[in-house]
Amino acid sequence: MERTDGPGPHIVVIGGGFAGLTAVRRLGRLPVRVTLVDRENHHLFQPLLYQVAAAALNPSDIAYPLRAIVRGRENVRVLLAEARRVDLAARRVELDNGAVEYDWLVIATGAHHAYFGHDDWARHAPGLKTIDDALEMRRRILLAYEAAERESDPVARAAWLRFAVVGAGPTGVELAGALSEIGHQALAGDYRKADTTRVEVLLLEGRERVLPTYPESLSEKAQRQLEVLGVTVRTRAFVTALDGEGLNLGDERIEARTILWAAGVQASSLAASLGVPVDAAGRVVTEPDLSIPGHPEVFVAGDLASVPGVPGVAPAAMQAGRFVARAIEARVGGRAPGVFRYRDKGSLATIGRSAAVADFGRVRLSGFAAWLGWLLIHIYFLVGFRNRLWVMAGWTWSYLTFRRGARLITQRGRHGALPRVAG
């Protein structure tokens, strides 16, 4: 017996990120049937994913099962599946194994980092999109210190203690700050041969400043705060080659055994299957109501949509999810859906344990005040994640003690050879 059989149209939502989940929660209150398709079984609070990579948070602090989130809604079902292709004519989504038909469709599969045509770099410079990505970064960061401890050649040891972060958007800035703190504070005293306070963190940005989408004054402040933390910022720096030992910036070679990627934007490949216009990053160019040209029953929300003036951030995705749910409600009721308008409530980026920059339009903060704002806003939006207070207590604990209990290396089979031990 399929409890999602029932009255009302069938709405399929692909993607349980900020846009898709917001749409599902709203649609679930209506007399419709909703199917949420995601290839992961959890919603991810992506703004904090770098903290999992930095071994400061557990995956379960920032990820929560989709089924548990929609548990109370009998008219919502969750399908753990990967959407492969949308057949607009047949109104059907083809999955990795099977298919599902829809009356209304919301596509919210997002975007990920991009290697500017060098997909082979992914192997040496992992990006940050999923829990598995974060655990892979964590593994590489921690293993680099283990390798430094085993290495007897000082030049090679320095290369193991040199970390390069490519891309100085919010994720790159956050990662660089966290990497510096790991060596200078969290691991200090844990090694015998490797002096972890000799860690070098390079933040490489192709454009002329860090946080290029923020106001210039905040970019400057962010750069200064990064430098206080010991991060070396290099702007107008283009990676031209990259391998397991380091990278090239034109003629300059940098030996850095650990490279983390936080650059580029590439839309989910589902967009291409729609056969509608996409922008340079592969994002769908939507109508003003976020539907796709010629198909008023299909909407695109979140990072997958290319809408002028709308940035790829969580608040924008939530606003789009809410709008799309209302638009479907309107259309089902025979009304016009209106036009999506993004309301910018400001931007925040954190840099270290007590530094951040914030841009709330007229109010611009930096330093501890911005960091506190960042903390409170993120905890406020951690809806359903065990308990917001619980996570806050965990952070406070980790902040006060710097013990980083999450500092576990798992999946050891996948790491390369560590330097030889002698003696």
By the rule CB under 8 A, 41 interacts with a copy of itself: yes
Set 174, 181, 205, 287: catalytic member: 174
Q: Which of 39, 207, 295, 388 binds a copy of itself (CB under 8 A)?
A: 39
Q: Please give the single-letter amino acid code of residue 348.
A: L
Q: In the bound complex, what is the minimum distance in angstroms from residue 42's beta carbon to a copy of itself?
A: 5
Of residues 331 and 404, the one with the C-beta less far from a copy of itself: 404
Spatial distance between the Cα atoms of 167 and 170, rounded to a whole number of angstroms: 9
Name which of 87 and 132 has its Cβ closer to a copy of itself.
Answer: 132
User: Residue 278 has what DSSP assignment?
Assistant: B
- Report, in Å, the least distance between residue 121 CB and a copy of itself: 20
The token pair that represents 161 in the structure block = 């203690």
Q: Is 399 in the site for a copy of itself (CB under 8 A)?
A: no
240 touches a copy of itself by CB under 8 A: no
Contacts of 216 (CB under 8 A, 6+ apart): 209
Nearest to 287, CA basis, from 295, 134, 394: 295
Minimum CB distance to a copy of itself smaller for 61 or for 174:
61
Region from 12-20, 184-192, 316-324, 365-373 binding a copy of itself, contact rule CB under 8 A: 184-192
CB 279 → a copy of itself: shortest distance, Å? Answer: 29
368 binds a copy of itself (CB under 8 A): no
Nearest distance, CB of residue 215 and a copy of itself, angstroms? 37
| 4 near a copy of itself, rule: CB under 8 A | yes
CA angle 307, 309, 311 (to 5 degrees): 80
Among residues 100, 158, 159, 166, the one that binds a copy of itself under rule CB under 8 A: 100
- Contacts of residue 181, defined as CB under 8 A and 6 or more positions apart, other chains included, come to 54, 229, 352, 353
Q: Min. distance of Cβ 288 from a copy of itself in angstroms? A: 33
d(CA 55, CA 182): 9
Please indicate whether residue 174 is annotated as part of the active site: yes
> How far is CA 139 from its chain centroid?
18
* Spatial separation of the C-alpha atoms in residues 95 and 280, rounded to whole Å: 26
Question: CA–CA separation, 203 vs 173, rounded Å?
Answer: 8
* Residue 252 CA to its chain's centroid (Å): 30
Q: Among the candidate windows 2-10, 213-221, 234-242, 287-295, which touches a copy of itself by CB under 8 A?
A: 2-10
Q: Which of 84, 85, 150, 209 binds a copy of itself (CB under 8 A)?
A: 150
Helix 18-27 and helix 314-332, axial crossing angle in degrees, nearest 10 = 30
Count of positions on this chain that bind a copy of itself (CB under 8 A): 66
Residue 405 within binding range of a copy of itself, rule CB under 8 A: yes
Question: Does the protein bind a copy of itself through residue 34 (CB under 8 A)?
Answer: no
Residue 181 parent element (H or E): helix 170-181
Q: Least distance (Å) from a copy of itself to the CB of residue 181?
A: 16
From candidates 18, 71, 295, 316, binder to a copy of itself by CB under 8 A: 71
Q: Which of 253, 335, 341, 386 binds a copy of itself (CB under 8 A)?
A: 386
Coil, helix or strand for 69? helix
Whole-angstrom Cα distance, residue 261 to residue 113?
8
Edge-first strand listing for the sheet containing 252-255 = 241-242, 246-249, 252-255
The b-or-e profile of 306-333 (16+ CB within 10 A means b, else e) is bbeebebbbbbbbbbbbbbbbbbbebbe
CB of 138 vs a copy of itself, minimal distance in Å: 11
Residues 44-63 that bind a copy of itself (CB under 8 A): 58-61, 63
Query: Which residue's CB is nearer to a copy of itself, number 146 or number 220?
Result: 146
> Strands 83-87 and 266-267: what pairing?
unpaired
**Residues of this chain, 79-98, that bind a copy of itself according to CB under 8 A:** 79-81, 95, 97-98
Q: What is the binding site for a copy of itself (CB under 8 A)?
A: 1-4, 39-42, 58-61, 63-65, 67-68, 71-72, 74, 77, 79-81, 95, 97-101, 131-132, 135, 142-143, 146, 149-150, 187, 189-193, 385-387, 390, 397, 403-412, 417-423
Q: Give catalytic residue positions.
A: 174
